[in-house]
């Protein structure tokens, strides 16, 4: 047997598997085919063909669905109604820009005029109270701005609780000094 050379085997597939099984001592299956196994294999082939047809139909539906999704995503670029809306919007913006360009001298002159409180109509009898109210609002706005800054700082504050007390005391002192300086002394 050592001198007898076996014919070259074809690699891959059922032939190779049967050849390996024969080399290991397993007998090859009989060559005769049963009518029952033929029916089963015919049924299997039929089911596999039907499965292939169904898979092909599913793939076609997926392609169509993806196309519709793409159409929906790019409708604002390609559909006529969307393009008409953009044209109308551009026409309105163009009209506004033409008006601005034609009236630019008037707009520049108006912007160069100083802003005055005359623009806020107030009855003559309430003008004194209104000016006091504006002064108080301005000082309260300054304090509010500082408080917002302090609040934002405290949100980022990562020190230990022992340090918090010292910082809070300094904050209260600063707040009291700011309030005292903004209020006139009563006599």
Both tokens assigned to 112: 């160069």
pLDDT-based confidence at 187, cuts 50/70/90?
very low
User: Quick check: 81 pLDDT over 50?
Assistant: yes
CA distance linking residue 17 with residue 28, whole number of Å = 10
pLDDT in tens, 51-80: 999 999 999 999 999 988 888 888 777 778
Average pLDDT taken over every residue of the chain: 75
User: Quick check: 31 pLDDT over 70?
Assistant: no
CA distance linking residue 27 with residue 31, whole number of Å = 12
| pTM of the predicted model as reported, rounded to 2 decimal places | 0.28
Identify the H or E element spanning 51: helix 35-73
CA distance linking residue 138 with residue 144, whole number of Å = 10
């Amino acid at each position: 047997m050592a001198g007898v050379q076996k014919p070259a085997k074809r690699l891959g597939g059922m032939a190779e598997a049967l050849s390996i099984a024969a080399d290991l001592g397993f007998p090859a299956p009989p060559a005769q085919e049963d009518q029952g196994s033929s029916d089963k294999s015919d049924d299997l082939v039929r089911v596999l063909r039907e499965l292939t047809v169904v898979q092909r139909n599913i793939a076609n539906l997926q392609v169509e669905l993806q196309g519709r999704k793409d159409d929906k995503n790019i409708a604002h670029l390609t559909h006529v109604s969307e393009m008409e809306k953009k044209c109308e919007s551009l026409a309105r913006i163009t009209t506004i820009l033409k008006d601005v360009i034609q009236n630019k001298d008037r707009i520049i002159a108006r912007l160069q005029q100083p802003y005055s409180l005359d623009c806020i109509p107030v009855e003559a009898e309430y003008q004194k109270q209104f000016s006091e109210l504006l002064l108080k609002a301005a000082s309260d706005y300054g304090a509010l701005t500082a408080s917002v800054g302090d609040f934002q700082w405290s949100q980022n504050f990562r020190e230990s609780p022992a340090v918090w007390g010292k910082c809070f005391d300094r904050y209260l002192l600063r707040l009291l000094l700011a309030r005292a300086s903004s209020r006139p002394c009563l006599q």
